[in-house]
Each structure stands twice: as C-alpha cells, then as structure tokens.
C-alpha cells in the first residue's frame, strides 16, 4: 500500500497490515507489477532489463533408493537435467514415511518445450533418461510424482550485469528490495538470500531507528540504548 509516494503497509489475504517499512523479496517482475503505478516508467524499464530463466523440478517418491549419491551434477548434454538429487541420501527416508525422494532440476527459458509440458508428460519424458543413467531403475518404483515450475527462478547475469542491479532503496519511500537479482557476483543460493535479507533488514532497522531518534529528540525524550 502506497500513499503520497510513501509505503503505508501490505495488503494480505487476511486484510491490510500497516507498516512503516516494507521489504519486497519476490522476483523483480512480480514486484514491478505492483510498483508500476507508483514509480516512473524509467525505473520500471530499468528493472525490466533483468531477465530470468524458469525452472522445472520433477520430484519422485520411490519405494527404494536410486543410488548412494546425494547430489549428482550432470554435464552430459544428452541428459536434459542439470542434476539428479536423491534428497533421502541426506535426510533419512523415514522422515518421508519410508519413501525415497529424488528430484531432477532444469533451468530453462519459459518458451522451452519441457516448461510447457503437462505434469504427466514431464514424468514420461524423464523416465527413459533415468533408465539410461540407472539401468536397474523401473517405473514400478515410482509411488508418486510432483512437478514444480517457477517462472522467475534465476536472474540471467548478462554482460555489464553489475550496472543493472537495482538498489535496495526504491523511489517509494519506505519500500526496499531484497531479491536474488541483487546477489552478485555470486549466483543465487539460500545462504546468499539469508545474507542479503539480513543486510537489508539491518539497513531498514537503522533508518527506522534514526527516525525514532529524531522524533524523540524533537519531543525532548531520551532514548534507551
């Protein structure tokens, strides 16, 4: 929620939450859709320059283990996923009621055929590749499957990317950005997301704190350390 160029809160499915400051963490295209009415077209145009790859993730519930490897990166261009990750070689299968959880991940453009496929098609497409990599693997091992798609998964770090990274502050007073697109030169990862979140949260807290100090000084009040 924005009034007179300043953030006033967040609209949620359970009503409005008033706030002095808001940190927006979704991918930039999601943020700019609701920022657009409140900022200049130049600002939105600048944010739009950051493009994103999508991601498809097939999660399989198997009745047995696929291999002893937790994280198998695959560089074979004939295999359509960047890796085969057997999550239950890291976290015990008991956590999942005895099911063995394996996922296949692929970063790709939104227009790619695999991204456009239906859930069943994705599964059928993947099975022969898994059989080639793990010859004993049989489709009867599959007890369940889930397909996840994320349209804005990985910002594309093109040439001169450092010049595209948006500042944490936005033209809307009190509204800040903390997104994967600002993580540079590293690529996105949970650890960097946490680091960025802390950095922005500390900066926002300092701004709010400073404002509080000014208000208290103006009213002659003392501030507790």
Ligand X SMILES: Cc1cc2nc3c(=O)[nH]c(=O)nc-3n(C[C@H](O)[C@H](O)[C@H](O)COP(=O)(O)OP(=O)(O)OC[C@H]3O[C@@H](n4cnc5c(N)ncnc54)[C@H](O)[C@@H]3O)c2cc1C
Cα 114 from Cα 126, distance rounded (Å): 10
* Closest approach of ligand X to the CB of residue 186, in Å: 10
Of positions 98, 144, 189, 221, contacts ligand X by CB under 6 A: 189
Of positions 190, 220, 222, 225, contacts ligand X by CB under 6 A: 190
- Are 43 and 171 in contact by the 8 Å Cβ rule? The answer is yes
Q: What number of chain residues touch ligand X (CB under 6 A)?
A: 15
Site string for ligand X, 7-46 (x = CB under 6 A): ------------------xx---x----------------
* Distances from the Cα of 137 to the Cα of 5, 8, 128, angstroms: 58, 55, 10
Cα 143 from Cα 66, distance rounded (Å): 13
Applying CB under 6 A, does 180 fall inside the site for ligand X? yes
**CB nearer ligand X, residue 164 or residue 178:** 178
Cα 41 from Cα 56, distance rounded (Å): 32
Applying CB under 6 A, does 5 fall inside the site for ligand X? no
Of positions 22, 47, 53, 55, contacts ligand X by CB under 6 A: 55
Cα 162 from Cα 169, distance rounded (Å): 16
| Of 8, 5, 34, 3, the residue nearest 19 (C-alpha) | 8
The residues binding ligand X (CB under 6 A) are 25-26, 30, 55, 57, 105, 150, 153, 179-180, 188-191, 193
């Amino acid at each position: 929620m924005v009034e007179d160029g300043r953030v006033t809160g967040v609209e949620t499915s359970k009503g409005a939450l008033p706030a002095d400051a808001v940190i927006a963490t979704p991918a930039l295209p999601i943020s700019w859709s609701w920022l657009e009415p409140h900022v200049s077209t130049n600002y939105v145009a600048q944010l739009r320059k950051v493009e994103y790859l999508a991601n498809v993730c097939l999660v399989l519930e198997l009745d047995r283990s696929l291999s002893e490897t937790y994280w198998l990166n695959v560089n074979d261009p004939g295999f359509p996923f960047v890796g085969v990750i057997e999550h239950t070689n890291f976290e015990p299968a008991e956590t999942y009621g005895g099911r063995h959880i394996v996922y296949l991940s692929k970063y790709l453009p939104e227009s790619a055929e695999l991204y456009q496929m239906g859930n069943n098609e994705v599964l059928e497409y993947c099975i022969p590749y898994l059989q080639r990599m793990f010859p004993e693997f049989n489709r009867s091992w599959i007890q369940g499957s889930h397909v996840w798609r994320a349209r804005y998964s990985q910002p594309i770090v093109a040439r001169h990317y450092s010049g595209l990274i948006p500042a944490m502050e936005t033209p809307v007073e009190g509204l800040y950005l903390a997104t994967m697109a600002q993580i540079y030169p590293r690529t996105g990862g949970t650890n960097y997301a946490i680091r960025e979140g802390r950095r922005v949260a500390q900066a926002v807290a300092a701004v709010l704190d400073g404002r509080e100090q000014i208000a208290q000084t103006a009213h002659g009040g003392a501030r507790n350390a």
